[in-house]
């Protein structure tokens, strides 16, 4: 017997078990799987026995040969029994069907909140975009309260963002971020909300933002983001090293498709603070004039 108390050994054994089960489900012999995947029968036996630390490329060949989804071979916490059916239905669903499914899955209170609670204007974007600077100015102008989500998180937990991340990691911080947002929404008052740059990395939290606020992506050029953040003396998450600019570009490129889900974009590149504030006012004018629902609160699926 191997030592399954070692998590890595246990993982490889569970992976092997999944391959064996999947193969059995498809009625494929090891010989046939070896032939179709182009991987030796001996290696497949090792993999199924939990002995082979298979490369991701080989595992993909195994899953392709069985016509299975690669992710179904990766051991994970037991999903809901109907998970595979739900996932396959979702893959084929229209955006309207996905929206309905999300409402149903989110359950009563969230479902009601999604439809009814318009909470104001949320600003998203990378560090140094101007979310705090411009958000404060906008809130003053339109007479709504200005809320910094990171400050709410700090107040609710009695720790700074840096301390939370050091103590509980990104995952802990994101959990607290979602809890702080949920509490804010429960206040049921209109606000201008400045979010943290990384909020887009947590799908449920970001979806809550998109469905509760008229969301605006405040953006600038990478060089300008860097210059503004440096001027503030805050280099996180743009560490002060030679690769800092490349890191920043990479963060921006990976987040852009998510930031772009906002209802509107305000590009502040090359503008003074006052000119950018005026542009933001223009961008929110439709919301102030009319019922925000008309302008379509977004959702991560739309």
Ligand X SMILES: O=C(O)C1=C[C@@H](O)[C@@H](O)[C@H](O)C1
Of the candidates 119, 116, 258, the one whose C-alpha atom is nearest the C-alpha of residue 193 is 119
Distance CA 241, CA 289 (A): 46
**In angstroms, what is the minimal distance from the CB of 127 to ligand ATP?**
4
Candidate segments 15-23, 42-50, 115-123, 195-203, binder of ligand X by CB under 6 A: 195-203
**In angstroms, what is the minimal distance from the CB of 57 to ligand ATP?**
38
**In angstroms, what is the minimal distance from the CB of 237 to ligand X?**
5
**In angstroms, what is the minimal distance from the CB of 196 to ligand X?**
2
Residue 237 binds which of ligand X, ligand ATP, Mg ion, none (CB < 5-8 A, kind-dependent): ligand X
**In angstroms, what is the minimal distance from the CB of 173 to ligand X?**
7
How is residue 167 written in tokens? 């103590």
The yes or no reply on residue 127 touching ligand X (CB under 6 A) is yes
The yes or no reply on residue 133 touching Mg ion (CB under 5 A) is no
The yes or no reply on residue 198 touching ligand X (CB under 6 A) is yes
CA distances from 14 to 8, 20, 67, 87, 217 (A): 10, 10, 19, 22, 43
Residue numbers belonging to the annotated binding site for Mg(2+) = 132
Distance CA 101, CA 86 (A): 10
Residue nearest to ligand X (CB): 196
Candidate segments 10-18, 58-66, 113-121, 272-280, binder of ligand ATP by CB under 6 A: 272-280
Distance CA 151, CA 159 (A): 10
Q: List strand residue ranges (DSSP E) for the chain, in order.
A: 120-124, 145-148, 191-194, 213-219, 264-267
CA distances from 51 to 8, 12, 13, 19, 229 (A): 11, 7, 7, 13, 49
Residue 161 binds which of ligand ATP, ligand X, Mg ion, none (CB < 5-8 A, kind-dependent): ligand X
Candidate segments 21-29, 107-115, 124-132, 179-187, binder of ligand ATP by CB under 6 A: 124-132
Q: Residue 271: which region, alpha, beta or left (left: phi > 0; alpha: psi -120 to 50)? A: beta
Annotate 113-165 with DSSP letters as a single string.
HHHH---EEEEE-STTSSHHHHHHHHHHHHT-EEEEHHHHHHHHHTS-HHHHH
The yes or no reply on residue 174 touching ligand X (CB under 6 A) is no
The yes or no reply on residue 127 touching ligand ATP (CB under 6 A) is yes
Selected binder of ligand X within 237, 245, 286, 295 (CB under 6 A): 237
Positions that interact with ligand ATP (CB under 6 A): 125, 127-134, 194, 197, 228, 232, 268, 271-273, 276
Positions that interact with ligand X (CB under 6 A): 127, 150, 161, 196-198, 237
């Amino acid at each position: 017997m191997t030592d399954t108390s070692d998590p890595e050994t246990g993982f490889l054994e569970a992976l092997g078990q999944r391959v064996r089960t999947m193969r059995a489900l498809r009625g494929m012999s090891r010989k046939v799987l070896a032939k179709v995947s182009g991987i030796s029968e001996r290696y497949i036996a090792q993999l199924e026995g939990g002995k082979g630390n298979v490369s991701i490329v080989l595992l993909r060949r195994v899953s392709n040969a069985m016509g299975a989804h690669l992710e179904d071979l990766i051991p994970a916490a037991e999903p809901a029994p109907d998970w595979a059916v739900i996932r396959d239905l979702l893959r084929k669903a229209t955006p309207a069907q996905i929206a309905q499914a999300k409402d149903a899955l989110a359950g009563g209170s969230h479902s009601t909140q999604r439809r009814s609670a318009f909470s104001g204007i949320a600003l998203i974007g990378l560090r140094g975009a101007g979310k705090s600077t411009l958000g404060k100015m906008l809130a003053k102008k339109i007479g709504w309260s200005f809320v910094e989500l990171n400050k709410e998180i700090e107040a609710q937990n009695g720790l700074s963002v840096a301390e939370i991340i050091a103590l509980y990691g990104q995952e802990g911080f994101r959990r607290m971020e979602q809890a702080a947002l949920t509490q804010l929404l429960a206040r049921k008052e209109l606000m201008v909300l400045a979010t943290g740059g990384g909020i887009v990395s947590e799908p449920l939290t970001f979806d809550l933002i998109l469905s509760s606020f008229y969301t605006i992506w405040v953006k600038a050029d990478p060089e300008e983001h860097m210059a503004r953040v440096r001027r503030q003396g805050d280099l996180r998450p743009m560490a002060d090293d030679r690769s800092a600019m490349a890191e920043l570009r990479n963060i921006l490129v990976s987040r852009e498709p998510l930031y772009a889900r906002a209802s509107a974009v305000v590009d502040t590149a090359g503008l003074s603070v006052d000119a950018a504030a005026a542009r933001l006012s223009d961008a929110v004018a439709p919301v102030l004039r009319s019922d925000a629902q008309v302008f379509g609160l977004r959702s991560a699926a739309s």
